[in-house]
C-alpha cells in the first residue's frame, strides 16, 4: 500500500514513522508512507496556501490550487486513490472504515488548518471526508496519524501475530474481552480459574461471554447493530440478571 499525507507541518509525522508497528511495516515494505508539504506547490514568491473567504467572515481558508497540484503530483499512475479530507464535518471514523481503507492501493490524506477549505476541494477532488471525533483540533495531522495507525496494523504481515487484528475491539462488532498475564495471583487479585484450566473450548466460551458483557456494560449502542446468536442471547439475559442482582 502507498499512503501519502499532505500537510504544511510534515515534521509532525517524524515520530510516527520511526517507531512501533508503522516503522516495522515500512521496513518490511508492507507500506510506503510519504509526507508532502503542500506549501511547496503554492504559486507565487511567498508560497501562500491560505486566503480570506469571499463574502467576509472570520478566519482563513486553504486555497484550492496548492492542494489540487499536490494531489496530482503524488497520485500513482493507473491507480484511483482514495483521497481523504480530514474534517470535523466528515463521517465518523470507525473500525469498519479502517478495514475498507486497508484494501486500497493508495490513500491520500489532506490535513487542513485555519478555518477550513475552499469548497471546490470537497466537491471536485476528495473521495471521502472523515472525522475522528466530535471535537476540534488545530489541524488534521493528529487525525491522519490515528487513521494511518489503525489502517496499517490491518495490512497482512504488519502485526507479529496475524490473528491479533481479528480479535480487536470493534472488529467482531463487540468490545474485546479482558486479558490477563503472569503472575496468576497479584496482591490477592487472581486470574479467573477458567483461563488456567487448559480447556480451550471453555476458555473461548468465557472470552466470548465476557466480550458480550463488556459491550453491554460499556457500549450498549454497539448491540443495536450486532446480530446475536441464540447462545449470545442466552448469555445476555444472564448478564442482565447478574447486573440486576448486583444492584440489590
Instruction: Tell me the whole-structure pTM to 2 decimals.
Output: 0.86
User: Is 133 within any annotated ligand binding site?
Assistant: yes
pLDDT at 87 (0 to 100): 94
214-228: pLDDT as tens digits:
999 999 999 999 999
Average pLDDT value for residue range 143-171: 83
pLDDT in tens, 185-204: 999 999 999 999 999 999 99
Q: Is 149 annotated as a binding residue?
A: no
Q: Give the residue numbers marked as catalytic.
A: 88, 115, 153, 168
**Predicted local distance difference test score (pLDDT) of residue 190:** 97
Q: What is the mean pLDDT of residues 86-115?
A: 94
Domains of the chain: 2-152 (3.40.1280.10), 185-247 (1.10.1270.20)
pLDDT digits (tens, 9 = 90+) for 3-36: 999 999 999 999 999 999 999 999 999 999 999 9
Write out the E strands in 59-218. Answer: 61-62, 82-92, 106-110, 116-117, 128-131, 185-186, 189-190
Q: Is 6 helix (H, G, I), strand (E, B) or coil?
A: strand
Average pLDDT of the chain, as a whole number: 93
According to the annotation, is 134 in a ligand binding site? yes
Owner of C-alpha cell 448478564: 239
Amino acid at each position: 500500500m502507498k499512503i501519502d499525507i499532505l500537510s504544511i507541518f510534515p515534521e509532525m509525522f517524524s515520530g510516527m514513522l520511526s517507531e512501533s508497528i508503522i516503522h516495522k511495516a515500512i521496513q518490511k515494505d508492507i507500506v510506503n508512507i510519504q509526507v508532502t508539504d503542500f506549501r511547496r506547490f503554492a504559486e507565487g514568491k511567498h508560497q501562500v496556501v491560505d486566503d480570506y473567504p469571499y463574502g467576509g467572515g472570520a478566519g482563513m481558508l486553504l486555497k484550492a490550487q496548492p492542494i489540487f497540484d499536490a494531489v496530482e503530483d503524488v497520485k500513482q499512475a493507473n491507480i484511483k486513490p482514495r483521497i481523504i479530507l480530514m474534517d470535523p464535518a466528515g463521517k465518523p471514523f470507525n473500525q469498519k472504515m479502517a478495514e475498507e481503507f486497508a484494501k486500497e492501493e493508495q490513500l491520500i490524506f489532506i490535513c487542513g488548518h485555519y478555518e477550513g477549505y475552499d469548497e471546490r476541494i470537497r466537491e471536485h477532488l476528495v473521495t471521502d471526508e472523515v472525522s475522528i471525533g466530535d471535537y476540534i483540533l488545530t489541524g488534521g495531522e493528529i487525525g491522519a496519524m490515528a487513521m494511518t495507525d489503525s489502517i496499517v496494523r490491518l495490512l497482512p504481515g504488519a502485526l507479529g501475530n496475524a490473528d491479533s487484528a481479528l480479535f480487536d475491539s470493534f472488529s467482531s462488532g463487540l468490545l474485546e474481552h479482558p486479558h490477563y498475564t503472569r503472575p496468576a495471583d497479584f496482591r490477592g487479585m487472581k486470574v479467573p480459574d477458567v483461563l488456567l484450566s487448559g480447556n480451550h473450548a471453555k476458555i473461548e466460551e468465557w472470552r466470548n461471554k465476557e466480550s458480550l458483557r463488556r459491550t453491554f456494560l460499556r457500549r450498549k449502542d454497539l448491540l443495536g447493530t450486532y446480530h446475536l446468536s441464540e447462545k449470545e442471547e442466552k448469555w445476555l439475559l444472564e448478564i442482565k440478571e447478574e447486573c440486576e442482582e448486583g444492584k440489590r
